[in-house]
Structure 1
Amino acid sequence: MSVTEKDVRYMADLARLQLSGEEVKSFAQDINKILDYMDRLDELDTSDVEPLEHVIDLDSRLRKDKAEAPLSHDDALKNAPDSDSDYFRVPKVIE
């Protein structure tokens, strides 16, 4: 699989990024290098390798969950940068 400059422009458009021609070329090369490396990894025989989550054995160091009273509707709206009546106002993200 190969990524073209057209693909990079499409992805940049989806992410709402403006890239120069040089950046498009650079990203296309970088992405293709990553994909080539992933193809090489895909060729490795891992049938005798035991699956693991971490290279080293780690104990869970998460704290215990503690239930607390949630924010009231009014307090949540007070934290909002912009609100209208009982609603949060957010910038338009869909054209």
Structure 2
Amino acid sequence: MSEMKIRAKLSGDETTVKCLMSHPMENGQRKDSKTGDLIAAHFIQEVICKTKDRIVLTASWNGGVSKNPYLSFKFKGGAVGDPVEIIWTDNQGKTERATALIS
């Protein structure tokens, strides 16, 4: 099962969000060392971050992003105690979501 760790901290009028996502991020071009077969592509395609039903970040990814990706970004308009939700969807249709409160 995948896991996400999120931290969101307000400093002045900017909220800094840091997120670590557990995901294999296979690009479909690597071979299994034992069988020599290609490992199927399995990567996060879309990442969305919301706060109070407002989208503050949308990212489109591909197989070029490393295993267990780390994402950090800033946005304005957050307040202490507001929820920050990150949702990702991978190329196999799996969706993962996690929420943290701004501190």
The structure whose residues are more often strand, as a share, is 2
TM-score, with structure 1 as normaliser: 0.21
Q: Which has the higher contact order (CA 8 A, sep 6+)?
A: 2
* Bigger Rg, structure 1 or 2: 1
TM-score, with structure 2 as normaliser: 0.19
The structure whose residues are more often helix, as a share, is 1
